[in-house]
Every structure is written in C-alpha cells, then in structure tokens.
C-alpha cells in the first residue's frame, strides 16, 4: 500500500505539491496525475516546473563538497530532468 498525501498544500496550488515529482520519470508523473482528484489546468505543468526549478535553486546553496565547492553535477543532473 502506498499513500501520497497532498494535505499540506502551502500555496493553494496543486502544481506545488507535484513540484518534487518533476525529478522523476514522466511515466511515473502520468500515473500520479491519473489518480489526482483535483482539477488540473492547462498551465499546471509550467507551474510545476517553476516550483521544481525554484526548489533546485534554493537547495543549490546547500550543496557543497568537503572542500567548500558547490556540487554542480548534482544540480545539473536534476535540472536536465526538468527542462
């Protein structure tokens, strides 16, 4: 049994809840969308990518290696999945 909880919506935007899913394969996202019960508008995927990109940019500042260098590889691997 798997449960996906959309109960902690912060921006009153379903695309925000899906933003972390932008890092997963498109087939997985399609399955999740299929079972999502709230309406999804035509700009949903654009807003989802925006929130996902915003998340990546905010977290980039926390991605340092032991020498104090930013782990660019981590960021660009995930960025490539969204764009």
Please state, rounded to an integer, the average pLDDT across all residues of the chain.
Answer: 75
Decide if 38 contacts 9 (C-beta within 8 A). Answer: no
Provide the β-strand partners of residue 64.
70
Instruction: Look at residue 47 and give its three-state secondary structure.
Output: helix
Q: What is the pLDDT confidence band of residue 6, given thresholds at 50, 70 and 90?
A: low
Pair of tokens at residue 47: 């807003």
Decide if 52 contacts 20 (C-beta within 8 A). Answer: yes
Task: List pLDDT tens digits, range 33-71.
Answer: 888 887 788 998 888 888 888 887 777 766 766 677 766
Cα gap 72→43, rounded to integer Å? 29
pLDDT at 17: 77
With a threshold of 0.85, does the pTM exceed it? no
Decide if 59 contacts 78 (C-beta within 8 A). Answer: no
Q: What is the pLDDT confidence band of residue 18, given thresholds at 50, 70 and 90?
A: confident
């Amino acid at each position: 049994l798997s449960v996906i909880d959309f109960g902690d919506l912060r921006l009153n935007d379903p695309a925000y809840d899906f933003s972390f899913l932008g890092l997963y394969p498109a087939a997985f996202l399609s399955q999740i969308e299929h079972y999502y019960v709230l309406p999804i508008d035509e700009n949903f995927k654009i807003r989802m990518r925006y929130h996902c990109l915003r998340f990546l940019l905010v977290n980039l500042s926390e991605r340092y290696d032991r020498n104090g260098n930013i782990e660019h590889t981590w960021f660009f691997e995930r960025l490539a999945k969204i764009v």
